[in-house]
Structure 1
């Protein structure tokens, strides 16, 4: 069976201590890794440093660092430093994010995301190797950069996130893994075909490319509350976070629903956006409900050939005790 990891809450937590507490809880419950998103809350690097200091065995990593707000050489330095600090427990995920974040929040043109991600992968890996980096790409040209410290004793795996066919193919061809998000079982299998095509193009050994599926999960004794939270999470992402998530749903046979959600949200009708999300879509995109229901739903994703890790993620509106309850209910056996 695939490993179970946790994808810590995307919504800002009350304190850094709360992030650490959730990571320690996941470590105690046997999860393989804790992934930390970086959106509009605390920066991932500082938080991961503290998480590394206050845990012992659980793997750690950002999922994802966007490839616009930091230079690739700096990301390489950061990856090497976090690997040293965590004593070999780091795995880094990179991705382009989208215009709403990159242009709207960082003030940077969202230009050539696939090529930029490819060059980041090359440069970050080269920096972490400790060798002198001379790189002549379409976007980046570097000359003479080298770590002035020992490179990590254990290589830092560098994953790539992607939702569309070409971005997933890129992950299979050039990255050490793929981070998948907002996919139905059928949609995931379609994208896994893109991943395999990328591995073939890159002459990769499939054993060297790991797939991590971030799955929206909420397991509560009050199953209706869990499903209400999941609806709110999905409505926000499809309605408020640009076109990427809407397009992703459309590719998977939910075009009318995606347009209905986005239209309602854009017109200020949040209740209408929530009402557009039926039970079938909730079950197709996550594991939410009572603990028994959530455990049943997560297994159908874990049984898909090609999935190496399922990352238990949480609805953005979930309270601390609801996140803790979900971590406990879906802990690895």
Structure 2
């Protein structure tokens, strides 16, 4: 088994400035993290922040996790990927995904449609753009002709990963992508999805050694164990209860259906503390690495031991403050 690298999933919630996020990236570089990933939700856009990070770092990889395939056209995503690859001197990796209907229809006014098909077509078009080809594409969602990068294409095109939670979306990532981004998974659940990804690789006749599976694990490693575990519980409850159905379904699929329903019901009724309390220690430990430093290191190691995993990304509770993020970053840096 190849060496599993450790990445950092940058927090965007309630960070005071772009400078603070960039400083987290320079700290990650100093601590030896392989790559920093930036999500894009309803705050700062990922492109501007990643360009800033690219300018302020020298070695650490950068990437999007996840840029959605609805609010930007695939040609524009291709332009953006080429530009960030240039700005970072070849350190960029593009993570794509469909997000969910609440966000895409409610926030961006775009029909959610068939997310798997749209993701696949987006990857196809982006690859043409990054190859410097004149784009010709006749798909279900995109009928395109004539676009071509004005500048030369990247000497080394950035890899394109896909996000996915269910079996079919993970299979798609293996069949058409250079990698897969996993989250909201227990080690056992992750092993099942790795099999889906590798089935997709076989279907696409892709060498698995050329692909990368990255799993994001919610982490909070503090000397104040109870504080760390409360922050991780609150984060898990927020996603299961307040961010649509995908996270609830992912938890249910892994044997925690009653817990997922309880969280969603309590969160939806406005009783957020009761939703947090629905997450017992076993559930928290199944999905997170939260508590004293040693137990967090041991929990992360359980994900790293899974065959097929190439990178484990340390992510943070949304309510963690700067000092707690810095402490966890240092404690969980790869040896």
Counterpart among 18, 21, 33 of residue 19 in structure 1: 21
Corresponding residue for 1:132? 134
- Measured after TM superposition, the shift of residue 159 of structure 1 is 0.3
Corresponding residue for 2:286? 284
User: Is 1:221 aligned with 2:218?
Assistant: no
- Measured after TM superposition, the shift of residue 138 of structure 1 is 1.1
Deviations 1:269-289 (A, max 9, x none): 111101110111111111111
Give the TM-score normalised by structure 1: 0.99
Does the C-alpha gap of structure 1 residues 62 and 12 become closer, same or farther in structure 2, counting only changes over 3 Å? farther
Secondary structure at the counterpart of residue 162 of structure 2:
strand
Corresponding residue for 1:67? 69
Tell me if structure 1 keeps the 8 A contact 2:214–2:311: yes
Corresponding residue for 2:199? 197
Q: Which runs of 5+ in 1 are unaligned?
A: none
Corresponding residue for 2:51? 49
**How many aligned residue pairs are there?**
333
Q: Which runs of 5+ in 2 are unaligned?
A: none
Secondary structure at the counterpart of residue 154 of structure 2:
coil
Corresponding residue for 2:331? 329
Tell me if structure 2 keeps the 8 A contact 1:12–1:40: no
Secondary structure at the counterpart of residue 104 of structure 1:
helix
**C-alpha RMSD of matched pairs (Å):** 0.7
Counterpart among 23, 26, 31 of residue 29 in structure 1: 31
Misfit runs of 4+, over 4 Å: none
- Measured after TM superposition, the shift of residue 316 of structure 1 is 0.3
Secondary structure at the counterpart of residue 27 of structure 1:
helix
Deviations 1:104-144 (A, max 9, x none): 22121111100000001111111011111111111101101
Deviations 1:214-233 (A, max 9, x none): 11001011011110000000
Corresponding residue for 2:150? 148
Corresponding residue for 1:260? 262
Tell me if structure 2 keeps the 8 A contact 1:213–1:309: yes
CA distance in 1, matches of 2:250, 2:111: 22
Corresponding residue for 2:168? 166
Deviations 1:229-288 (A, max 9, x none): 000001100111111100000100000000000000111111110111011111111111
- Measured after TM superposition, the shift of residue 12 of structure 1 is 3.5
CA distance in 2, matches of 1:156, 1:68: 20
Corresponding residue for 1:271? 273
Give the TM-score normalised by structure 2: 0.98
Secondary structure at the counterpart of residue 160 of structure 1:
strand
